Structure 1
Amino acid sequence: MEIEFLGTGAGSPGKFRNVTSTALRLLDERNSVWLFDVGEATQHQILRTTLKPRKIDKIFITHLHGDHIFGLPGLLSSRSFQGGNTPLTIYGPKGIRDFVEVSLRVSETKLSYKIHYQELTNDGLVFEDPKFRVYAQHLDHRIECFGYRIVEKDHPGELQVDKLQAAQIPSGPVYGQLKAGQTVTLPDGRVVNGQDFLGPAQKGRVVAILGDTRQTQNASRLTQNADVLVHESTFAKGESKLARSYYHSTNIQAAELAKRTHVKMLLLNHISARYTGKMAVELQQQAREVFKNTRVVKDFDLVTIPFQKMIPEDAK
């Protein structure tokens, strides 16, 4: 699981930061890529990465401001031209379907695949499969805006082959049944429970990706104990009144949220064009005074999300 930043700027594209788009790379987990927001020229940014548009099967939109959606029509069209023929689902506030369908209709664009739309109205679970759950919560922005919490389900424990061998259980298809946690009757009549031969489950990872927002209780619900939090940093330390008037957050507010909800890593994006060079570094330094594991990300930064190390029960 990796996060790749295709655009980390706020409002309008700049020389060094494109507008917002974040890719959650789930190639090992489900051979797909999920995008969170698709700002203008996202498809150009993708050309500078190893991402394949045909691998994108879900797009989550936080809100309908242009710097978060103007890249959608071009990306959807290019996905069709580049061999993408599998269905794609777009999640987002009411109106996202109109925006996409009007754009495609007026430009007479025909796609080789079907788009499913899930326009969000209520908070809660919006997607689940055998490996992941995705939750959405309303945030506090000038227009309807959502944040997303992506929860990877726990991985089953590893089969302890040495323990099986010590119990003189011969290898073969029975190992697969035991790995699945099944109870099996062996040829010699013994009944064994697969759970007795599994190591501890590996806890799944949690990623929170927030849209533009003032500070709100829903943000705490989305970020609690997350391995990674992607949070906007449109304003700097000392600008909280200005941030509130524009329905945004400061770097310090993001850091305080990360600390309060026990996040493990904070990645700051949606950086105003006012903050370049040393000023962007200062944003990071200010936030680190509150929450040490903070990073101001740049376009094309690639962040790996590791599993947390499991501590055996007898070592606790």
Structure 2
Amino acid sequence: MELLFLGTSSGTPTRQRNMSAVALRMRGARPWVLVDCAEGTQHRLLRAPLSLVHLQAVFITHLHGDHCYGLPGLLASAGMLNRTEPLVLVGPAPLRPMLECIMESTQLRLPYPVSYLLPEELPDAAVLPEFRVSAAPLSHRLPSYAYGFTEARVERKLDLERLKADGVPASPLWGELQQGRDVALADGRRLAAEDYLLPGRRPRTVVIAGDNDTPELLAAQAHGADVLVHEATYTQEILDKVGPGPQHSSALKVARFAAQAAVGNLVLTHFSPRYQEGDGPLSVSAIEAEARTAYDGPLFLARDLDQYVLDRQGGLERGIS
């Protein structure tokens, strides 16, 4: 699985950071999904190995502008690329009337069908073939959600010992069994694929949260997740000065929760523009240092165009796309 960050700032962009957007796909696959779509996301996509033609779904965590103002333009650009495949949009209820109003006002006509889903309709609604998707409500000034993406299928190895014991000769039928398809042998026997497949590994889960001042609301969804992506807008010292009004989290609050929830890898993002690169109390390094006091697992602070690869054993590595 791959994560590609297209924006990691909160509220407004900086010279180094655009606002919130992150892409997810199976490693090396063409289809991908987008979580949040701030203004400027399209510019980041110009430097990413992703095509709007292969975008399967967009998940909006909440309707603050730094998470969704780029969506109308992205939909229009997909149409100008002659996209014809359907696109699924998942987000809070006002997302649909907001987009329909913009489309009507600007006479935007899309050459592909768009369908809308509410977060509450997950996981019952089958949105993606590669993932089972769940949603969890969070605590913010507007309705905000976290989306969990769990592999729908995992590869399974053939039970070679049983095949040999049952006298099933090696042939292309073995490949059919490994793909989960039942087969018929020349001698008339029918073999159920499930009988000849070893148990698969644990499906991997990535949780990407919207703005949220109460990480504990993710206790059920994120417990044991391989990756949690969560905002760390402030350090605790600045959060105490700002007060509860903005309803954001500090790095300390998120890190404490991640440790309690046995999260495999923690990726922090959505940093206040006041935090710059370098050292000092108003640096991204200060956010990292604070998080490390409470979480001793693999910790990452996302940067724009960072690409992360989650391997089959749950290890997360960062590279540059």
**Aligned equivalents of 2:2, 2:137: Cα separation in 1:** 25
Match of 1:300 in 2: 305
Amino acid at match of 2:90: Y
Match of 2:14 in 1: 14
Matches within 5 A, 1:27-66: 28=28, 31-66=30-65
**Aligned equivalents of 1:77, 1:87: Cα separation in 2:** 14
How far the C-alpha of 1:120 sits from its partner, in A, is 3.8
Instruction: Tell me if structure 2 keeps the 8 A contact 1:24–1:33.
Output: yes
How far the C-alpha of 1:45 sits from its partner, in A, is 0.9
Moved more, 167-176 or 297-306: 167-176
How far the C-alpha of 1:127 sits from its partner, in A, is 3.6
Match of 1:283 in 2: 287
Instruction: Tell me if structure 2 keeps the 8 A contact 1:236–1:252.
Output: yes
How far the C-alpha of 1:272 sits from its partner, in A, is 0.7
Q: Percent identity?
A: 33
Distance change (3 Å), C-alpha of 1:203 and 1:12:
same
Distance change (3 Å), C-alpha of 1:170 and 1:124:
closer
2:101 equivalent to 1:88: no
SS in 1 for 2:56: strand
**Aligned equivalents of 1:51, 1:191: Cα separation in 2:** 43
Deviations 1:177-232 (A, max 9, x none): 53356776755577766445433312211010000011154321221111110000
Instruction: Tell me if structure 1 keeps the 8 A contact 2:85–2:113.
Output: yes
Deviations 1:235-288 (A, max 9, x none): 103344336332000001111111111111110000111111121122112212
**Aligned equivalents of 1:125, 1:187: Cα separation in 2:** 41
Deviations 1:32-76 (A, max 9, x none): 111100000111110111111111120000111111111011111
Deviations 1:69-120 (A, max 9, x none): 1101111111111131111111101110112111122222221111111134
Match of 2:68 in 1: 69
In structure 1, stretches of 5+ residues that fail to align are 310-316
**Aligned equivalents of 1:201, 1:258: Cα separation in 2:** 26
Distance change (3 Å), C-alpha of 1:79 and 1:202:
same
Instruction: Tell me if structure 1 keeps the 8 A contact 2:8–2:304.
Output: yes
**Aligned equivalents of 2:210, 2:243: Cα separation in 1:** 14
Distance change (3 Å), C-alpha of 1:184 and 1:93:
closer
TM-score norm. by structure 1 comes to 0.88
Match of 1:314 in 2: none
TM-score norm. by structure 2 comes to 0.87
Could you say what the CA RMSD is over the residues aligned between the two structures, in angstroms?
A: 2.5
Amino acid at match of 1:290: A
Moved more, 146-155 or 164-173: 164-173
**Aligned equivalents of 2:201, 2:76: Cα separation in 1:** 39
Moved more, 232-241 or 294-303: 232-241
Moved more, 238-247 or 138-147: 238-247
How far the C-alpha of 1:289 sits from its partner, in A, is 2.1
Match of 2:111 in 1: 112
Instruction: Tell me if structure 1 keeps the 8 A contact 2:231–2:270.
Output: yes
Moved more, 153-162 or 53-62: 153-162
SS in 2 for 1:245: coil
SS in 2 for 1:38: coil
**Aligned equivalents of 1:79, 1:122: Cα separation in 2:** 26
In structure 2, stretches of 5+ residues that fail to align are 315-321
Match of 2:319 in 1: none
SS in 2 for 1:254: helix
